[in-house]
Structure 1
Amino acid sequence: MNKSQIQFSEHIRYAGGERKFEIDLYQLQELLNVSAFWAKGRSIEDLGIAIANSEPVISVSDRDQLIGFARATSDGIYRATIWDVVIHPEYQSSGLGSNLVKTVLSHPRMRWVERVYLMTTYQQGFYEKIGFQPNTTTTMVLHNLANLALVPATEDQLQ
């Protein structure tokens, strides 16, 4: 690996007030399929939707090849969540993953957030080295939201 060819990039730009993402979704799909058991098989369309609704979106490239990726969602002040942190297996253990997470955390949308969350199955030690702490008391999950028969609150219930 020639470090002089490694480049970190943010992939959201604004054009005419509209958010546009500039990342090769096919390379991203391949990177996730090779590097992330939890993200295998994601469709190009779904990846585009996820990226369009995330900020920051950070990638790591070696020349023109995507070798790392992470994204986050945030309200900009109270809470944020980091998603899809991945480094290609050939580039792991080189410090790129830590730099990727630190790049996400230093983004203006993330810098002042009170709490940053992430989910990980096997990489707790990696994130603890960056400063994350285990949190077993606040995380809950609702699966298959689209399949639930949710009834919106009435105006009386919201008051």
Structure 2
Amino acid sequence: MDDSGRLIGFVQVLSDGIKHAYILRLLVHRDFQGKGIGTKIMENLMDLLEENNLSPVLLTKPSEEAFYSKFGLSISNKGFISMFKW
């Protein structure tokens, strides 16, 4: 939140509470992008997941791979596939 209490960024996570935490979306208001807010949100999230022994799972665009790799996330080649129905 900014100084006036306006929400400027958040992360949405869905977890089974046992093993995995699915990072659904990270959003930062366009007026506040590029100021490290998304990075701080992700740092806090990764700390929280580690404290609770939850493995993060993320589906993202190739253009966002560099951002998320800063937090230890990488492309999996362990036999997992993504399935969609459009």
Instruction: Report TM bin, short chain.
Output: 0.7 to 0.9
Give structure 2 stretches of 5+ with no counterpart.
none
Do residues 81 (structure 1) and 22 (structure 2) align? yes
Structure 1 pair 75–86 and aligned structure 2 pair: CA distance change class (3 A):
same
After superposition, the CA RMSD in angstroms is 2.3
List aligned pairs for 1:1-159, cutoff 5 A: 61-62=1-2, 63-107=4-48, 111-113=52-54, 115-121=55-61, 122-136=63-77, 137-143=79-85
Structure 1 pair 83–110 and aligned structure 2 pair: CA distance change class (3 A):
farther
Count of matched residue pairs: 83
Give structure 1 stretches of 5+ with no counterpart.
1-60, 145-159
**Matches of 1:123 and 1:110 in 2, distance apart?**
25
Contact 1:74 1:110 in 2 (8 A): no
Aligned-pair identity in percent equals 25
Structure 1 pair 111–139 and aligned structure 2 pair: CA distance change class (3 A):
farther
Shift of 1:88: 1.3
User: One-letter code of the match for 2:22?
Assistant: T
TM-score (norm 1): 0.45
TM-score (norm 2): 0.77
Which secondary structure does the structure 2 equivalent of 1:105 belong to? helix
Q: Render the CA deviation track for 1:57-89: whole Å, top value 9, x for unaligned.
A: xxxx11222110111111223211111101112
**Matches of 2:23 and 2:12 in 1, distance apart?**
6
Max Rg structure:
1
**Matches of 1:110 and 1:140 in 2, distance apart?**
27
